[in-house]
Amino acid sequence: MDRARPFPNVVLIVLMLGGAVAWLTLPAISVAPNRIVQGTPQHAVAALGWGPTLLVLMPMLAMAVLAWRPTPRRLPGVLALVIVLLIAIPLWLSGVAASMEPTARLGIGSALWCLLFIGLLALIELRSRLALSRPLGWALLVPVVLVWWGCLTQWLAPLALYREYQGRSDQFYAALAQHLMLVGAAVSAAIVLGAGLALAMRRHSRLRRAGFGVLNVLQTIPSIALFGLLLAPLAWLSARFDWLADLGVSGIGWAPAWLALLGYSLLPMVRNIFVALDEVDPAVIESARGMGMSRRQVFLQVRLPLALPVVLEGVRITTVQAIGLTAVAALIGAGGLGTFVFQGLGQAAMDLVLLGALPIIALALIADALLSALTDVLRQGGTT
Amino acid sequence: MRGNAAAALRWSRRVGWWKPLAWLGLLLALCLGMGGLEGLFRWLEPDSRQVLYARSSFLVLLGQHVMVVGLASLAAVILGVGGAVAVTRPFGRDFLPLVSQLASIGQTFPPVAVLALAVPVLGFGTLPIIVALLLYGLLPIVRNTLAGIQGIDPGVHEAARGMGMTRGQILRQVELPLAAPVMLAGVRTSVTINVATAAIGATVGATNLGDPIISGIVNGNTAYVLQGALLIGILAITVDSTFERVQSWLVQRD
């Protein structure tokens, strides 16, 4: 056993050397005098000189060296260096911003995107090597997010993405709220309807076959097509019935978006609830009956708690999927963060696209993390 | 659930290739004969001067759509299967945890957001769409190929080695055939997502079946929207039922 001299961690070495090459050869930023003109790309050295460039380079090279002999005592050091790297990026950007004209706009270049991506990959790699728990992995990102936030509010005013946000911060929060509301409304309706359907399917096998058949076909129809197919009937309904029109139902807007989201959410929801209820060990049910529990008690106190983690898994899949589909719903005027994406694409304003796309990704990741953490907690609670 | 899947499989075996072929026939018939439905669209959209999308023929749009999805999916299959096989070999095993984590985290990303992020990097047009579809399409393929190869009973591996098979033979004659159904399910997911995402690509300057929908929404012409939506929906079902058929053929073969 040569535990003292473990094999080199090839993954980290490749990542860090790749990061170093990207940092030195790709443009790190782009500078534009105003919103309309396209920015000119600049390399890191040209933007802020050799000193700061090497300061960002150091943690990467240090990590590559440490990863050559990744002893258990060195790996936490590598982890700390990744955090240092992710914190160094906004500080370096702040340095660039300090020397810029007040009206100029600073865009993030491909080298910086590469570094951010490589930093996150290194975090994922280290998390699995060190066997860190999921919450701890997320906790590691807290200092990084805080430093980014501090830099943004203090020094990074010229950052084009931040400019776009400042110009429409009210709209941004309204869109965020709209996005969350649509997702929430669709997922909660899917839970209620899905539970009802799953329970009915347990009783009637014919309904089960037909139900899964319809939901499966629905799931394969592309979202943009389903939104489009709902447009005509809903427009007709709202023209026919005044009370529907008063509710705000029309061919475009929230109504077709919500209906389509609900349709897409039903399959994962129904499937998971059905499987969850079905998979509970019959012996457990038997013994609960033997203890003199009524049918109702068995369902509420035994079957449901045991099924809950799998049901939550369904809620997680549904929520993540709905967050992405709601972005598409912006095309039919349902609002939400997708509005910025499509507006930005229409005006060829890439920072506006980012202002929509990055929060959508963040929302999906956060929803995924929170709901899987909740599932873990319930699983542990179930086994003790 | 398993009984349900088995029943579906038995049914699809009995129906055979008729189901995908019937959908394909409907798709082509609609592409060629959309004009025959003009009365219906006129009734839907009485105020518009024009009710049939005429900027490009539906057949061309369909061809573009299929080409973009096909190219991206083909590349995704080659890269995804190649990558997943590489990280399960001794020389690439170091990358296995990272790749498998990345494949599952990446699937949390909404496809639209990936498409939107490809545009600032690659510009407008068909290329960014192919690249975005390729990148996103990789994830389910990598994930399922890994699951398929790792799900093989170690005893099978052992027996193959005992028979004197080389590593390459084991890969080609044991691992890939055994993993094929799971891999194919990954390809199916990937292609289904790509058909849908390519349609959204019409907003970044590609011409495909998403075009009538987008231009219908922009001009307030419900008939255009309906034409695009019908064709995309039927295309998706055609592709999906073809995969269903191939999957049942794979299972039947054993």
Q: For residues A23-48, b (16+ Cβ closer than 10 Å) or e, as one string?
A: beebbbbbbbeeeeeebebbbbeebb
- In chain A, CATH 1.10.3720.10 covers 169-383
Query: CB distance B94–A232 less than 8 Å?
Result: no
- Cβ of A225 under 8 Å from any chain B Cβ? yes
Sequential DSSP letters for A237-280: HHHH-HHHHHTT--SSSHHHHHHHHHHHHHHHHHHHHHHHHHHS
Q: Give the nearest chain B residue to A223 (CA atoms).
A: B196
CA atoms of A341 and A350, how far apart (whole Å) = 9
What is the pTM assigned to this prediction?
0.86
CA atoms of A320 and B108, how far apart (whole Å) = 7
Nearest of A210, A186, A185 to residue A197 by alpha carbon: A210
Q: Which pLDDT value is given to residue B82?
A: 94
The whole-angstrom distance between B47's CA and the closest CA on chain A is: 14
Amino acid at B98: L
Tell me the mean pLDDT per 10 residues along chain A, length 384: 67 88 85 76 80 85 85 84 88 82 80 89 86 81 88 82 84 92 94 91 86 85 85 78 73 82 90 86 85 85 85 91 91 87 85 90 91 84 51
- Cβ of A204 under 8 Å from any chain B Cβ? no
Q: Which pLDDT value is given to residue A1?
A: 43
Query: CB distance B94–A231 less than 8 Å?
Result: no
Cβ(A94)–Cβ(A155) below 8 Å: yes
CA atoms of B122 and B125, how far apart (whole Å) = 9
Q: Which CATH fold would you assign to the domain A169-383?
A: MetI-like fold (1.10.3720)
Q: Which pLDDT value is given to residue A349?
A: 81
Identify the residue among B26, B102, B112, B213 best suited for mutation to test binding to A, counting A beta carbons within 10 A and taking the highest. B112
Sequential DSSP letters for B197-229: HHHHGGGGT--STHHHHHHHHHHT-HHHHHHHH
Q: Which residues of chain B have pLDDT under 70?
A: 1-15, 253-254
- Listed in sequence order, the residues at least 6 apart from A323 whose beta carbon sits closer than 8 Å to its beta carbon are A179, A183, A360, A363, A364, A367, B110
Instruction: Say which of B1, B8, B102 has its CB closest to residue A274.
Output: B1
Q: Give the nearest chain B residue to A357 (CA atoms).
A: B113
- B positions 26-45 inside 8 Å of A (CB): 44
Q: Which pLDDT value is given to residue A66?
A: 85
Phi, then psi, of B131 in degrees rounded to 5: -65, -45
Query: CB distance B98–A327 less than 8 Å?
Result: no
Contacts of residue A348 in chain B, CB cutoff 8 Å?
124
The whole-angstrom distance between A193's CA and the closest CA on chain B is: 19
Q: Which CATH fold would you assign to the domain B2-253?
A: MetI-like fold (1.10.3720)
- Listed in sequence order, the residues at least 6 apart from A324 whose beta carbon sits closer than 8 Å to its beta carbon are A360, A364, B109, B110, B111, B112, B113
Q: Which pLDDT value is given to residue A384?
A: 40
- Cβ of A110 under 8 Å from any chain B Cβ? yes
> How many beta-carbon contacts under 8 Å exist across A and B?
142
Cβ(B4)–Cβ(A202) below 8 Å: no
Sequential DSSP letters for B38-89: HHHHHHH-TT-S--S--SS-HHHHHHHHHHHHHHHHHHHHHHHHHHHHHHHS
- B positions 187-216 inside 8 Å of A (CB): 192, 195-196, 199-200, 203-204, 210, 213-214, 216
- Cβ of B5 under 8 Å from any chain A Cβ? no
The percent of chain B in helix, strand and coil, each rounded to the nearest 5, is 85, 0, 15
CA-to-CA dists, residue A318 to A24, A144, A324, B153, angstroms: 42, 29, 10, 32
Q: Which pLDDT value is given to residue A292?
A: 86
Q: What is the torsional sign of CA B217, B218, B224, B229?
A: negative
CA atoms of B82 and B76, how far apart (whole Å) = 9
Cβ(B121)–Cβ(B128) below 8 Å: yes
CA atoms of A169 and A166, how far apart (whole Å) = 5
- B positions 230-249 inside 8 Å of A (CB): 230, 232-233, 236-237, 240
Query: CB distance A356–B237 less than 8 Å?
Result: no
Show contacts of B222-225: CB within 8 Å, 24+ apart: B222/A231, B222/A232, B222/A235, B222/A251, B222/B44, B222/B45, B223/B41, B223/B42, B223/B44, B223/B45, B223/B48, B223/B51, B223/B52, B223/B53, B224/B53, B225/A228, B225/A231, B225/A232
Query: CB distance A224–B213 less than 8 Å?
Result: yes
Is residue A216 within a helix (H) or strand (E), and if so which, with residue range? helix A205-220
Q: Which pLDDT value is given to residue B145?
A: 94
In the sheet where A27-32 sits, what is the strand order?
A: A40-43, A27-32, A105-108
CA atoms of B165 and B67, how far apart (whole Å) = 39
CA dihedral A42, A45, A47, A49 (to 10 degrees): -170
Query: CB distance B124–A348 less than 8 Å?
Result: yes
ipTM confidence: 0.83
Query: What is the domain partition of chain B in residue ranges?
Result: 2-253
